[in-house]
């Protein structure tokens, strides 16, 4: 089965529905409910990348 075109949450793996965020660092979509993290609308990162970015001190 191919589900091309269907984006899945990078956290729970379920199909995206409703509000979602796109992490530019890992190019993954996430339910906002699955990845509630501090950030702005312009620069949002998933929990995994948020940790990495906080360590990288860019
Ligand atoms: Zn999810
Ligand atoms: Zn990420």
pLDDT digits over 16-36, tens only?
988 888 888 888 888 888 876
Which is more confidently placed, 5 or 2?
5
Dist CA 48 CA 30 (whole Å): 11
Across the range 3-20, mean pLDDT stands at: 83
Distance 37 CA to ligand 2 centre (A): 12
Distance 44 CA to ligand 2 centre (A): 9
Phi, then psi, of 34 in degrees rounded to 5:
-90, -25
Q: Distance from first CA to last CA of the chain, Å, rounded?
A: 41
Distance 2 CA to ligand 2 centre (A): 24
The answer to whether the predicted template modeling score (pTM) of the entire model surpasses 0.75 is no
User: What is the domain class of 1-58 according to CATH?
Assistant: alpha beta
Distance 35 CA to ligand 1 centre (A): 7
């Amino acid at each position: 089965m191919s589900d091309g075109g269907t984006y899945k949450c990078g956290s729970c793996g379920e199909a995206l529905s409703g509000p979602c965020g796109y992490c530019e660092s890992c190019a993954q979509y996430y339910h906002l409910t699955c990845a509630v993290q501090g950030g702005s609308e312009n620069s949002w990162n998933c929990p995994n990348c948020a940790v990495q970015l906080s360590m990288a001190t860019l």
